[in-house]
Structure 1
């Protein structure tokens, strides 16, 4: 017969072993939004205790070809960029997470793509792919947007993705047209660096930093030390698909050891965990045939910014995974697909991903870049 102290040690050991192998994603509850590009609407999901998102109708109509939805810092207003309307739509966020129109849309440059709210919560920026500019807006009383002067040229073709340092001092803009067939001969892409003045206006600084064709999703680590850039390029065209950079005091970029990295096939979106230890990347944005690109990659971020795949990577994530968002505690990862599904994963202690439930419909058709956003509630 075991004495109680030994029995306690066994129970403790088993508990530790179970915890080590179990997913860390024990978070539950909350809301999230998914924009549907082809049907021009926004879906609201509530996340139940099991971590499975449940669609809550009705869908909210918005402009044509919505991509990113971002929230104001206080979570009381939401902004949606719509590519075919050249505009940003403004919504009030109710206490239940529902969206209601706040004011008429504000105009952007031609074919707006990426969108970001500054860490201060006072300004919002939009990359305009067709005219090579970035539009800037102040976020005023009640969350209303107002133009912050004329759109600023980036100096390069096809600006698409945006990312900012946590202190709000620098804005990064990815550029380049995608190369998703072997016949694509687009020129290489670039990352352009802007310093951000105290009033939110932008000043281009330094030389453009070359990356591969189709520069798109970007993430800065929470400590502001590293920037990661996904390039929308087919592996058979180039294996230089994911770039990592150390961020200097002046905002300048220096490649991290081992960069660039492979991340087959056709990387789109990126997300860094709140603790800055992992990077996730949707690598399935193959518009010509979403069914053959199905992966989400996970990487561990080393102290020098270099990357190594997490155990089990890449992970199956439906047909054409494109948008992604991590919960605020880093415990769950939500991924949208070009086939109009939302896939949810628990994030393990080693960074591995475990599916939670079956994929669910997004309610509309064809989510696009930046299409998943964690709600404020």
Structure 2
């Protein structure tokens, strides 16, 4: 069932003879956390692209929850908290987008002295597995821990935490980030300092194999993201600004594409998102306060969309992450910073044309969060 309407059609009698606009249905929920805050906020996205806060979706976490990921299958949201006690906070997503905490799971690999801090969480599209990455280790490198998810979406650690790469620890990733393949059979970890991406098998019980191989790539790679068909994987390469691009074999092995990273002048990406049809990729420019759009070719190569880059807010707010709605018709961008007069993070939206180009929707919505580096989107309908 669809979520409640933001604005419903009203009779002429109720409006003094004026006929109201057509209903503006809520289609998606966007959740945002802040590195300098200790709570999550939720926002409804409507068919017109308008944004509004969701009552009941402002909930507490520990300080500095930097990663949010959902299980669309189980209607749960996972927030990773590091201070004071590392844990994963699990929330039930209500029909109206409100959040209810159903579990707080302590992280086992963080209990030993000198262990790296948890910095990222990912959830399999099948809703059966979860992974948490840790870093940096005092001697460099990082770890990844596999989890199973029960019928309610509660995680249980499985097997040993694995080094994030087969490279020597001092040259491995101090800031690893992970993503599951669409079929949930592999999890991949981007390695910030070395630029590689390691692949791990996901076992039936949720535990992970040692790293199978590491494919080289551009330095400072973050936010690895798959096309829906699982044929290509992309990363935001902050060190050599651009978009890293990889072909995925039937076995799950990666091969970097010729021309990668794809880098228009001035692009410094952070988060990236891909349309549900697999044809378009969007990358916010953290320094240019704009958003780049690309067409994804049949071979995985990227070509800029007409009119790119698309302007955001004029002030230096650092466009950080963006999300395409479930029907592929709108894009929501989350700024990392605010302005001197309004220091909190702001969300804005765009309409996506048939050719993938963007048209800015007027207005936006402000949060009470500081440093919004964690966000995610969830369809309002199953």
TM over 0.5: yes
Q: Which runs of 5+ in 1 are unaligned?
A: 1-25, 178-187, 285-291
| SS class of match (1:51) | coil
Equivalent of 2:181 in 154, 160, 165: 165
Following TM superposition, by how much is the alpha carbon of 1:175 offset from its aligned partner in structure 2, in angstroms? 1.0
Partner of residue 303, structure 1: 298
Alpha-carbon distance in structure 2 between the residues aligned to 1:98 and 1:314: 34
Following TM superposition, by how much is the alpha carbon of 1:88 offset from its aligned partner in structure 2, in angstroms? 1.1
| SS class of match (1:89) | strand
Q: Contact 2:224–2:233 (CA<8 Å) still a contact in 1?
A: yes
Name the structure with the higher helix share. Answer: 1
Alpha-carbon distance in structure 2 between the residues aligned to 1:27 and 1:207: 45
Q: Contact 1:300–1:351 (CA<8 Å) still a contact in 2?
A: yes
Partner of residue 4, structure 2: none
Alpha-carbon distance in structure 1 between the residues aligned to 2:25 and 2:280: 17
> Which stretch of structure 1 is more off in the superposition, 219-228 or 91-100?
91-100
Q: How many pairs align?
A: 329
Q: TM-score, normalised by structure 2?
A: 0.80
Partner of residue 113, structure 1: 119
Measured on the aligned residues, the alpha-carbon RMSD in Å equals 2.1
Partner of residue 146, structure 1: 156
Alpha-carbon distance in structure 2 between the residues aligned to 1:130 and 1:282: 26
Q: 1:281 to 1:72 in 2, by over 3 A?
A: same
Partner of residue 377, structure 2: 373
| SS class of match (2:210) | strand
Following TM superposition, by how much is the alpha carbon of 1:111 offset from its aligned partner in structure 2, in angstroms? 2.7
Partner of residue 66, structure 1: 65
| Residues 1:352 and 2:357 aligned together | yes
Following TM superposition, by how much is the alpha carbon of 1:128 offset from its aligned partner in structure 2, in angstroms? 1.3
Q: Deviations 1:65-117 (Å, cap 9, x if unpaired)?
A: 11222222434321111244432111122232211221223215433223211
Alpha-carbon distance in structure 2 between the residues aligned to 1:216 and 1:278: 19
| Residues 1:364 and 2:374 aligned together | no
Alpha-carbon distance in structure 2 between the residues aligned to 1:338 and 1:330: 23
Following TM superposition, by how much is the alpha carbon of 1:120 offset from its aligned partner in structure 2, in angstroms? 2.0
Equivalent of 1:29 in 27, 30, 33: 27
Alpha-carbon distance in structure 2 between the residues aligned to 1:304 and 1:174: 22
Q: Contact 2:70–2:376 (CA<8 Å) still a contact in 1?
A: no
Equivalent of 2:135 in 109, 129, 132: 129
Q: Contact 2:329–2:352 (CA<8 Å) still a contact in 1?
A: yes
| Residues 1:232 and 2:247 aligned together | no
Partner of residue 87, structure 1: 87
Q: Deviations 1:268-300 (Å, cap 9, x if unpaired)?
A: 11111111101111220xxxxxxx431221110
Bigger relative contact order, structure 1 or 2 (CA pairs below 8 A, ≥6 apart): 1
| SS class of match (1:203) | coil
Following TM superposition, by how much is the alpha carbon of 1:213 offset from its aligned partner in structure 2, in angstroms? 2.2
**Structure 1 runs of 4+ with >3 Å offset:** 26-30, 204-207
Q: Which runs of 5+ in 2 are unaligned?
A: 1-23, 111-115, 166-171, 338-344
| SS class of match (1:142) | coil
Equivalent of 2:348 in 340, 343, 347: 343
Alpha-carbon distance in structure 2 between the residues aligned to 1:314 and 1:250: 36
| SS class of match (2:278) | coil
Alpha-carbon distance in structure 1 between the residues aligned to 2:79 and 2:300: 32
Equivalent of 1:207 in 203, 208, 213: 213
| SS class of match (2:62) | coil
| SS class of match (1:30) | strand
| Residues 1:217 and 2:232 aligned together | no
Q: 1:294 to 1:74 in 2, by over 3 A?
A: same
